[in-house]
Amino acid sequence: MKTVVGTSMSTTVLATVRTALRSALTSLLPLPRRGGSAALSLLPLTERVPAMAAPCRMHPAVYAIEAAVIDWARRTGLRADPGVGYHRMAGRAFAEFDAAAAALFAQWLTWLFHLDDELDEGSCPLDIFPGMLNGASRHPLEAAFADLWRVTSARMSDRWRARFAVGLQRQYDACRTEADNRAAGRMPTLEEYPALRRGTVGPYLYDLVEPCLRVEVPSWVQESEPWQQLVRACSDVTAWCNDVASRPKERGDVHNFVVLAMRQLGLGEREATAWVLDRIAGRCQDMHKAARRLPLDDLEPKEARDVSKVACAYLAAPRAHLDWLLESKRYA
C-alpha cells in the first residue's frame, strides 16, 4: 500500500533535511585563513535568525547611488573603491526609501571606514575628534566631514546636533581607551568589550538614519528604554558580525570579540566564532523584542510613521550588513 505524505509534513521534512545537510557541509569547511573570507563563518546566522534568512532587496537605483558616492569622494579627496561597495550596503538598508537617502548614508559610511582605517594605521591622529565639529582640524578627513556635516545638520534640530556631538565624543573616548590598552598591553574583559565596541563603531551612525530619511525621532521616544535597547542591539549585531569578518585582518589586536573569546575562554577559533554567533543571534532577538515595544500608539500618525521608518532601517541593517560582508573585497 502506497503511503502519501501530506504537503505540510513533506515541506517540514525537506526543510529539516536541507538544514542538516547545510550544517554538515559547513562543519566540513576549513576555517577561513588570511586571504580567504572569514565572513563565511557568519552564514549559520541565516539558519538561526529569521530576519537574516533571506538576502535584502537591492535599491533599484544602486548605480546612481554608487555614482553619487564616487563623485563626492573625488570632490573631497577620499578613495571610493567600487569593489568595497559601501553604496551596496546603504542600497540594501535603504532599499525602501529614495536614492538620495541611500547616497547620503553611503557617503557617511565611506567617511567612517576611512576614519577607522586611518586610526588603525596610525596615519590619523586621535586629536582629529575635538576639532571635527568646529572645523579646527586640518586633516584631510576633516574636509570630507565638514562637507557631510553641512548637508546633514542643516536638516536637523539643535537637539539632534547635540546628540550627534555626544556620539562623536563617545567614539573619541572609546578610541582613546583602545589606544591606551594597546600601549599598556591590556585587553578588555568580555564584560567590558560590548560597551567599548559600541563606542568605536561610531554611535552617531545610527543617528544618521534620521537626516537621511528627513525625519526626526521625538526626543522622549529616542530616550525611551525600548528605543535605546533597539539601537544598542543593532549596534552590537553589526559590530560583532564585523569582528567575525575582520578577524584575519586584526594582526594580533585583541579588540575583537572572537579574539577575546579565544584568549579568555580558552577556545579554539571555530569554537570562539560559534560563541560569538550565539551572542549575535541573541541580540537579534533583542532587537525585534525592543521594536515590538516601541510606543507608537502614543504618537501622532505622522510621528508614528517617521519613527517606524527609522526603526525599519535598523531592523534591515543586520542582513544588509551581512550581504555586504560576504561580497565586499574589503574582507576578501
What residue ranges of the chain have pLDDT lower than 50?
A: 1-36
What's residue 32's pLDDT? 36
Domain positions in the chain:
37-331
What's residue 215's pLDDT? 97
What's residue 126's pLDDT? 77
What's residue 6's pLDDT? 37
Nearest to 32 by CA among 270, 324, 254: 270
- Distance, in Å, from the CA atom of 204 to the CA atom of 207, rounded to the nearest integer, reads 5
Nearest to 179 by CA among 249, 121, 237: 121
DSSP 331: G
What's residue 228's pLDDT? 97
What's residue 174's pLDDT? 95
Do residues 116 and 108 lie in contact, with contact meaning Cβ atoms separated by under 8 Å? Answer: no
The C-alpha cell at 169 is: 565624543
Do residues 238 and 42 lie in contact, with contact meaning Cβ atoms separated by under 8 Å? Answer: no
DSSP 39: G
By CB neighbour count within 10 A (0-12 exposed, 13-18 middle, 19+ buried), where does 147 fall?
Answer: middle
Is the four-CA dihedral 148, 313, 237, 62 of positive or negative sign? negative
By CB neighbour count within 10 A (0-12 exposed, 13-18 middle, 19+ buried), where does 50 fall?
Answer: exposed
Is the four-CA dihedral 312, 104, 202, 154 of positive or negative sign? negative
Superfamily covering domain 37-331? Farnesyl Diphosphate Synthase (1.10.600.10)
What's residue 208's pLDDT? 97
Is the four-CA dihedral 130, 131, 137, 140 of positive or negative sign? positive
